[in-house]
Structure 1
């Protein structure tokens, strides 16, 4: 896997298409059918210093800004996404410090500084999970909290065939692959890591896991009029996971 090629492919996609194709998952949503309003992983953020990894369009930063977070920072691989985030926060009378960089690289973020580092459906883009978690640990104060969500690896292994769910991918296969997008929207590079890979990387970086959520919120499911196969999937197996960990 050529890291520079992955950066170029993925940043080009986010610069050109961004949320227009994949959509944006932002707080209070952690992903499909899991919400901060129900889980309350952050608690009271008033007066806290917050860093978002993969800040995208800035709406998750807005969520914390409106809850009186003291300082907002965002890092993203895409200059276009950062431009969107700056514009959006300005319209909300909020401000943040932004850095355009791959999350894996040393990019001038202060160490032992933040109360919270978080990432909503972005951490899985990293080409170096161990290195990224080590950097995140360095940004946090002692006892600081790291919260992130991503697509559940089981979800990526299952396809719909003839109105049934079938495994079509090995859960243990973490090799990088190219995802062609419909309608000539470009392509992406991804790797589907096992849950144990995330857990072990957190442990090696000095984090203590306090909570992991993978259950679909039944109240949200029951409120859905949609009876699509995505909803049916969420009733059968997890489609999103969220981990809250604390720096030891």
Structure 2
């Protein structure tokens, strides 16, 4: 069994209190940029890797996608997704992202939001995504930025008065597992350099279309001053790639 913290009751309860769990896509700071990388979804078959509550699945159908499959390893996540979904053209399946075995060219669009930094062998997954994506198809993903994941602490360096002095980056080229703290619990994430993320996609056959490190737009800073931190260091990496 792959890592599955979200089926632990206390962890899932804490996750369910997060703003993005309550407010959905509009409460996710990276959503505007992620949405801008998506192709026209009308009439498309869409696969969501690590679908969680199914927010992206329902959005795809709102954009008139033909059919959507959302996968997640957490049964609690899928239970919540099914409770929030009333659409026979959205199917939720329980499986690990690493274990996907879909037919060749089964989807025109594959998406994944903040899930793939939990996957150990990203290169192998890329080959599986490439196979199930139709020619001309698009794969859009967001992950935690390598500057954010390099150190397991994932925290600022503080001054004597508790002020945030700088974001430490160390062991950047030492890729692999990081035991981090998330929602008060130990969680394993996998650190990769920016080059590693891009190379895995290129070697699988994808063409890079868009790369974003999510610099906060003025309106983001206006709505939420906490985004000032993202000016000092990137937290997210967003990629759009295509199959020729």
Normalising by the residue count of structure 2, what TM-score does the alignment of the two structures yield?
A: 0.84
Mapped to 2, the partners of 1:62 and 1:182 lie a distance apart of 26
The question of whether the paired residues in 2 share the 8 Å contact of 1:50 and 1:115 is answered with yes
3-state secondary structure, aligned to 1:110:
coil
- Could you say what secondary structure the match of 2:99 adopts? coil
Determine the C-alpha separation between the residues in 1 that align with 2:92 and 2:45. Answer: 14
| Partner SS state of residue 40, structure 1 | helix
What does residue 196 of structure 2 align with? 197
- Paired residue for 1:165? 166
- Residue among 106, 112, 118 paired with 1:113: 106
- In the TM superposition, 1:226-245 aligns within 5 A as 226=225, 228=226, 231-245=227-241
The 5 Å alignment of 1:1-248 reads: 4=1, 7=2, 10-11=3-4, 13-16=5-8, 17-18=11-12, 19-20=15-16, 24=20, 27=25, 32-33=29-30, 35-36=32-33, 40-90=36-86, 93=87, 95-107=89-101, 109-157=102-150, 159-162=156-159, 163=163, 164-181=165-182, 186-226=185-225, 228=226, 231-248=227-244
Give yes or no for contact 2:167–2:233 (8 Å, CA) kept in 1.
Answer: no
Separation in 2 of the partners of 1:212 and 1:171? Answer: 20
Root mean square deviation, CA, Å: 2.4
SS at match of 2:176: coil
The verdict on how the C-alpha distance between 1:114 and 1:221 changes in structure 2, with shifts beyond 3 A counting, is same
- The verdict on how the C-alpha distance between 1:97 and 1:194 changes in structure 2, with shifts beyond 3 A counting, is same
| 1:125-163 deviations in Å (ceiling 9; x for gaps) | 111111111110011001110000011111234623112
Deviations 1:53-86 (A, max 9, x none): 0000111111111111110101111122112111
CA 1:224–1:187: 2 relative to 1, 3 Å: same
TM-score, L = length of structure 1: 0.83
User: Aligned equivalents of 1:89 and 1:159: distance in 2?
Assistant: 39
- Distance in 2, matches of 1:99 and 1:15, equals 15
Q: Structure 1: where are the runs of 5+ without partners?
A: none
Aligned equivalents of 1:87 and 1:201: distance in 2?
A: 36
Larger RCO, structures 1/2 (Cα 8 Å, 6+ apart): 1
- Aligned 8 A contact 2:157 2:167 in 1: yes
Does the CA-based 8 Å contact 2:210-2:241 persist in structure 1? yes
Q: CA deviation at 1:233?
A: 2.1
SS in 1 for 2:63: coil
Matched position secondary structure for 1:84: helix
Deviation at 1:95, TM superposition (A): 4.0
Spell out, residue by residue over 1:191-244, the C-alpha distance to the aligned partner (whole angstroms, 9 max, x if none).
Answer: 121111110100111100011011413223332343x4xx23211232111100
